[in-house]
Amino acid sequence: MNTATVLAQSPTPSGVGAQPPHSADFETVFSYIMWVGTVLGIMALCAGGMLIARQRFVGRTEGADKAGMMLFGGLVLAVLPAGLRFVFFGTDSDTAAMPEATETATPTPAPTTTPVAVTRPAAPSEPTDWTPLIWIGGVLGALVIAALAAYLIVRTRHRILDRRTAHTVLVDDFAAAKAVYAQVADAYAAYLADPYAIFTRPLLDDLDQPRTAAFIDAFAAAGALNTDTCPASTERVQAFADASRAALTAWKAADTYARAIGMGVQTEDTKRTVRRIRNALGLALDDTAAAGERATAIATVQRLSDGLMTVPERVYDRAKTAIETATRKQLTS
């Protein structure tokens, strides 16, 4: 009587270096802990990066060491979980060993039937749970968005404050430059409005005098940059401030020199002639004098000053305007 060949499969016994079994619950809890560590590490990396970016933006380096420690700690927390997982669980150790076939033969010379291989159905695999990964990805994305929003808010706030501060400084600098320019303009206007200044500072009307010419050029340059409102450009305000200071310096130099020189060295005859010119000019500008007397006085000024001193046209124009006004009053009275 022949017997059939019996095929038996048995799992390979654990040998040297085989991984010890772990419970599924322990592995799940350990996986959650490792994911939390990874998230904390990434958060630390983001915080360190933001701190370095902020320090560079404000131009300070006090927190560089702290930021470096945060980056290093975050890197360790982000990488350490993967290493611990490898140490505790290693690679996939659940692969079953290859089955061994044991054959028992009967003394019969040949089998009468063909052996039938019996295939056992494989155990259904459980679906992968992606919930922890989704939660961690969502939290990580929210943290990245929040960090980016905070960085943009802080950066925008600093830019607004910097612009306000820069505008305030710009307005103050422009006001200071305007004050300097007004000081020069008022001093020069006072000289032009005084008809008797030609007897004390005649060189201020002499454009051949280097100091006077330098002042006229500097004052014109500052006036070209003078505006009613504050310019938006820092360079424009700085140029106006420099020009105003240059005009003030040139005015002081020209005015001081003109006062020191005065009418220059004069003889006694020249001094008497100058006194007569001054008296005649006073009569021409006297509002109580008759129009005819004032016209005669201005003619005397022109005659006596010819070849002796230069009387600016503004003085003659002022006297002529006053004479014409007095004449109209006499005609209408």
pLDDT value, residue 259: 93
Amino acid found at 142: A
pLDDT value, residue 103: 46
Question: 34 to each of 86, 153, 155, 214, how far by Cα in Å?
Answer: 12, 32, 34, 80
pLDDT value, residue 323: 81
**Residue % of the chain over a pLDDT of 90:** 28
pLDDT tens digit sequence for 41-77: 777 777 777 777 776 666 666 666 776 777 777 777 6
- Cα 165 from Cα 58, distance rounded (Å): 15
| Closest by Cα among 210, 218, 213, 214 to 244 | 218
pLDDT value, residue 192: 93
- Cα 168 from Cα 95, distance rounded (Å): 75
| 3-class secondary-structure state, position 11 | coil
* Axis crossing angle, helix 268-284 with helix 313-332, rounded to the nearest 10: 40
| CB of 247 closer than 8 Å to CB of 219 | yes
Q: In sequence order, what E strands does 92-230 have?
A: none
pLDDT-derived band of residue 101, with 50, 70 and 90 as boundaries? very low
| CB of 301 closer than 8 Å to CB of 286 | no
Least confident stretch, 145-149, 176-180, 209-213, 219-223: 145-149
Residue bearing the bigger pLDDT, 240 or 49: 240
- Who's near 90: CB < 8 A, 6+ residues apart? 19
- Cα 313 from Cα 283, distance rounded (Å): 17
Amino acid found at 47: A
Q: At residue 128, does pLDDT exceed 50?
A: yes
- Cα 149 from Cα 156, distance rounded (Å): 10
Residue bearing the bigger pLDDT, 163 or 14: 163
- Cα 106 from Cα 4, distance rounded (Å): 8
Q: Classify the phi-psi angles of 125: left when phi > 0, otherwise alpha if psi is within -120 to 50, otherwise beta.
A: beta
Taking each continuous run of H as one helix and of E as one strand, the counts in the chain are 8, 0
Neighbours of 198 (CB within 10 A): 22
Q: Which H/E stretch holds residue 198? A: none
pLDDT value, residue 275: 92
Among 50-54, 138-142, 184-188, the range of highest mean pLDDT:
184-188
Q: At residue 23, does pLDDT exceed 60?
A: no
Average pLDDT of every residue of the chain: 77
pLDDT value, residue 276: 93
| CB of 211 closer than 8 Å to CB of 257 | yes
pLDDT tens digit sequence for 267-296: 899 899 999 999 999 998 888 888 888 889
- Cα 270 from Cα 252, distance rounded (Å): 29
pLDDT value, residue 48: 74
pLDDT-derived band of residue 118, with 50, 70 and 90 as boundaries? low
pLDDT-derived band of residue 142, with 50, 70 and 90 as boundaries? confident
What torsion, rounded to 10 degrees, do the Cα atoms 28, 29, 35, 39 define?
Answer: 150
- Cα 228 from Cα 64, distance rounded (Å): 47
Domain ranges of the chain: 174-261, 268-332
